[in-house]
Structure 1
């Protein structure tokens, strides 16, 4: 490496020059990786609704966190961390949008009564 000392200011300049020279490649790679993660999550939605049993397209299916929500799945897709996505998906059930709204409504009523 040309500048092995991480505190050398020339290293930052060199790194920035390299990025600017290869910016298109980096952006294309990031887009491709993000699309792979989106496809992975879409495949996870390719199953019948847990409540009503009907099959819908991926854009109708939603992840319902039933335990300890830590992250939003859509946000995790942007960070390209399949381990975190799988950990968060393990806490979810796949339900259609109607059943998800029904569940959410019922939880809200139960929480208010308690």
Structure 2
């Protein structure tokens, strides 16, 4: 009768060998990548559905999720952009906590919002540029 993977690993460690053979370690790394890719795809699909469900908070646009952004609301402490967090494979809970600080807006409305939140340069007293 063959031993389980855990008992083989314990026996290897007891014998002073690495926990896993190189082949086992490679297989485990590959399986971890597959799980991480699957989780990322599921989270991306969930965020896409969320964007389409909510639509743009300003104009109501909801035709293509790719044209909708998560806009961090003023006063919210931004950890990172939602899409960056997904690409960095942060946990679902961390990403959804960041989404809770945002409104969904279309790309055009997002650019307008961002521009109106900035202090206009012509009204600010700009220091002369030094070279």
Q: Could you tell me how far 1:64 is from its partner in structure 2?
A: 0.2
Matched, 1:17 2:26: no
Matched, 1:38 2:44: yes
SS in 1 for 2:80: coil
Contact persistence 2:70–2:104 (CA under 8 A): yes
Structure with max Cα Rg = 2
**Superposition TM-score, scaled by structure 1 size:** 0.77
Gaps of at least 5 residues in structure 2 are 1-5, 125-131
Q: 1:18 to 1:87 in 2, by over 3 A?
A: same
Contact persistence 1:65–1:92 (CA under 8 A): yes
> 2:78, 2:28 → 1: CA distance?
38
Counterparts of residues 1-114 of structure 1 (less than 5 Å): 1=6, 2=10, 3=13, 10-11=18-19, 14=20, 16-46=22-52, 47-66=54-73, 67-78=76-87, 79-109=89-119, 113=124
> 2:95, 2:81 → 1: CA distance?
9
SS in 2 for 1:94: strand
Contact persistence 1:45–1:94 (CA under 8 A): yes
Any idea what the Cα deviations from partners look like across 1:16-70, whole Å, max 9, x if unmatched? 4313145544433332221111111111211221011222310000000012111
> 1:57, 1:80 → 2: CA distance?
24
When the two chains are superposed, the root-mean-square deviation of aligned CA atoms in Å is 2.6
Gaps of at least 5 residues in structure 1 are none
Q: 1:88 to 1:20 in 2, by over 3 A?
A: same
